Amino acid sequence: MSSSGARASPRRVGPRLDRDAHTPAMDGLGRAVGDGAHNVSNAIGGTLRSILDAGQAILPGPLLPLVVLVVAAAVFWILIKR
C-alpha cells in the first residue's frame, strides 16, 4: 500500500461495451422517426401557407393581420372568461 492511503483505480476487465457498436435496427428507427417528424412539419407548414395565401387573396393589404388579431383576441377573451 502506498503511504498516501489512496487506492489504485480498478482496471477494466473485458471489452468495452460501446466500442464499435452497430445497431442497424435502432438506426432505422431513429431515421424513421426523424423523417416522420420532418414530414409532419412540412404538412403543417404547407397548410398554414395555403391558408395565409387564400386569406391574402380575400383580404388584401393590412386587413388580414387585423382580422387575425381580432380573432385571436376574441379566443383569448373567451378562454379568460372560463
Cβ(81)–Cβ(73) below 8 Å: no
The parent domain of residue 67 ranges over: 24-81
Q: For residue 3, tell me if it sits in a domain.
A: no
Q: For residue 56, tell me if it sits in a domain.
A: yes
Q: For residue 68, tell me if it sits in a domain.
A: yes
Greatest alpha-carbon span in the chain: 87
Q: For residue 11, tell me if it sits in a domain.
A: no
Q: For residue 16, tell me if it sits in a domain.
A: no
User: What is the full per-residue pLDDT of the chain (82 aa) written as tens digits?
Assistant: 555 555 666 666 665 666 666 677 777 888 889 999 999 999 999 999 998 899 889 888 888 889 889 999 999 999 999 8
- pLDDT score, position 62: 86
**Structural domains of the chain, count:** 1
Q: At 63, give phi and psi (nearest 5°).
A: -70, -35
Q: For residue 64, tell me if it sits in a domain.
A: yes
Q: For residue 19, tell me if it sits in a domain.
A: no
- pLDDT score, position 52: 86
Q: For residue 8, tell me if it sits in a domain.
A: no
Residue type at 65 in one-letter notation:
P
Give the DSSP letter of residue 61.
Answer: T
